[in-house]
């Protein structure tokens, strides 16, 4: 299939619904992460932070399936770009392990900041201010809370991140509705 970049972006946006099932999975997992310090010992919480966050992507895929949203748009090169944009997070895992071994108190700072950085390209891919706002909000909250209020970081960093994910979901849905109404208006004008 031969697309211009704009056609590929529009196709990906329409089919994958700007990837909001992944955001929904993230909101759920980060909210659970905010609660785990009340249930588990600190050492277990540290390990859950490293390994538990890997649940976001599979949960997002399951939610996408339930919502009948195709997150793997075939014959669209930008779908592959989205996958390549997400893949570098695997290289973050050794960093998280070293932080866990040396200074585990900084896991919320490190995971939040590095996780936030990978969302920036999605602002362009999905033509979405929601991803930009989320990346900046997630990064700043991880930096401020995780860097300066360390004793509260394992509760308040994931709570803040979950709230940014939820706000991004609301914004993405608004963007999708606006895009649909603009598409209808454009079709009415041409017809």
Q: What's the pLDDT score for residue 189?
A: 46
Q: What's the pLDDT score for residue 23?
A: 97
Instruction: With a cut of 50, say whether residue 48 has pLDDT above it.
Output: yes
Selection from 78, 166, 88 nearest residue 130 by Cα = 166
pTM of the model: 0.89
> Domains in the chain: how many in total?
1
Q: What is the secondary structure of 72-132 as a DSSP string?
A: S-TT-HHHHHHHHHHTTHHHHHHHHHHHHHH-GGGHHHHHHHHHHHTTHHHHHHTT-HHHH
Q: What's the pLDDT score for residue 65?
A: 96
Phi-psi region at 127: left, alpha or beta (left = phi > 0; alpha = psi -120 to 50): left
Selection from 155, 52, 141 nearest residue 105 by Cα = 155
**Which pLDDT tens digit goes with each residue over 168-177?**
999 999 999 9
**Which pLDDT tens digit goes with each residue over 123-150?**
999 999 999 999 999 999 999 999 999 9
**Which pLDDT tens digit goes with each residue over 68-99?**
999 988 888 888 888 888 888 889 999 999 99
Q: Residue 26 belongs to what domain range?
A: 5-190
């Amino acid at each position: 299939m031969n697309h211009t970049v704009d056609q590929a972006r529009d196709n990906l946006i329409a089919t994958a619904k700007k990837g909001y099932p992944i955001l929904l999975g993230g909101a759920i997992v980060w909210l659970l992460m905010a609660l785990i310090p009340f249930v588990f010992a600190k050492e277990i919480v540290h390990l859950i932070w490293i390994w538990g966050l890997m649940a976001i992507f599979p949960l997002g895929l399951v939610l996408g399936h339930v919502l009948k949203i195709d997150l793997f748009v075939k014959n669209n090169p930008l779908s592959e770009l989205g996958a390549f944009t997400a893949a570098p997070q695997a290289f973050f895992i050794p960093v998280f392990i070293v932080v866990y071994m040396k200074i585990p108190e900084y896991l919320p700072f490190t995971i939040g900041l590095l996780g936030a950085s990978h969302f920036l390209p999605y602002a362009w891919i999905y033509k979405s201010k929601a991803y930009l706002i989320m990346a900046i909000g997630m990064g700043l909250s991880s930096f401020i809370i995780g860097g300066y209020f360390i004793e509260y970081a394992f509760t308040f960093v994931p709570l803040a991140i979950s709230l940014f994910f939820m706000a991004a979901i609301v914004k993405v849905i608004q963007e999708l509705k606006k895009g649909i109404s603009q598409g209808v208006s454009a079709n009415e004008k041409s017809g």
